[in-house]
Amino acid sequence: MTKQPRLADVARAAGVSTATASMALNDTGGTRIGSQTRDRVRAAAAELGYRPNTVARGLRTRRTQMIGFIGDDVATTPFAGQMIRGAHDAAREAGFLLLMVDTSGDHDETGEAIAALQERQIDGILLATMYHQVIEVPKAIGSTPHVLLDARTADGSSSAVVPDERGGTLSVLSELTGAGHVRIGHVTTREDVQARAIRLETWRERVTASGIDPDELLVEVDHATTPLGYEGAKRLLDRDDRPTAIFCFNDRMAMGVYRAAAELGLAIPADLSVVSYDDQDLIAPALSPGLTSAALPHYAMGQWAVKELLRRLDEPDAEPVQHHMPCPVSRRSSVAPR
């Protein structure tokens, strides 16, 4: 117990060379190792509690079994955890570990992060942003295999996975139309993110299709926060031709909508149905009544990204893939027939 045993110790204990020990433990070298020899080596390794030094192995094999995870702003968003967890689980299953770097969105810092990871000889990089962004891959990444997470390039030159915002929006809207709603309002943010653009456009299409002018039912505010959601909802609801249902950009805004409805004496869902996006754990099930919301599949995206990365490790020349991950709806009690 004084020192970690090395491969040489195992070899000595089994009475073979380190080459044989290595091959026996790793099942390499084809038929060169007899089965009783292999068992002897394995037994010796188990006996000594041998654990390979992956640093030494990595130096020789040029593989570290580590994946770099570069996150835009890991801390401040509650989604990051799920994304990391999904990536982590898929990685661990394949014997990989995640080496994390958080950049605060700073572009220089991203370059530095990439360099720091490359110095450590990671096998590949996951480039994650929060909130579905269209980015350029920093040239510092060179030929390091990589996959984009909740982000993509404009030209699709890197493998990437993003939520299927359009599908999610359609699903959650059909919760409303299925209940007979036609005048469906939308409370959203003015921030320039993909999520906003896609949700807005999809809603617009859908409402237009039922012969209604979307601009009458749209409210935009500066940020996707609860207080501004409240204000937006007030503007939308405090009039005679108010919508019978509201689709909110996200749960935080929906929380404000709930408050506005309460103040105006509108019961949810009897007087007003509400649906939303993000399905945040701290909000959607906590509101009363529970909020029907389309979930962002962060866990699944993290998983997918690692699997795709591992695939690219094996076939570096594979065509990049753009994946749209479905956004399942969590149905709760905020929708009632019109």
157 binds DNA (CB under 7 A): no
Q: How far is the CB of 22 from DNA (least distance, A)?
A: 3
Q: Which is nearer to its own copies, 270 or 282 (CB)?
A: 282
DSSP single-letter state for residue 319: P
Span of 94-102, 183-191, 201-209, 264-272 interacting with its own copies by CB under 8 A: 94-102
DSSP state of 30: G
| Nearest distance in Å: CB 106, its own copies | 13
Region 180-239 residues binding DNA, contact defined as CB under 7 A: none
1-5: long-range contacts at Cβ-Cβ below 8 A with a sequence spacing of 24 or more? 4/51, 4/53, 5/48, 5/49, 5/50
Query: Which residue type does 61 have?
Result: T
172: tokens are 């959650």
What is d(CA 228, CA 220) in angstroms, rounded to the nearest whole number?
A: 9
In angstroms, what is the minimal distance from the CB of 7 to DNA?
3
Name the pairing type of β-strands 184-189 and 146-152: unpaired
- Of the candidates 272, 263, 312, which has an alpha carbon nearest to the alpha carbon of residue 291? 272
* Residue 23 or 87 with smaller CB distance to DNA: 23
Dist. CA 322–CA 149, nearest whole Å:
10
Question: Which positions lie near DNA, rule CB under 7 A?
Answer: 6-8, 16-20, 22-23, 25-26, 28-29, 31-34, 36-37, 52-53, 56-57, 59-62
Question: Which positions lie near its own copies, rule CB under 8 A?
Answer: 1, 51-56, 58-59, 64-66, 69, 74-78, 80-82, 84-85, 88-89, 92, 97-102, 115-121, 142, 225-227, 230, 252, 255-256, 259, 262, 280-283, 285-286, 288, 299
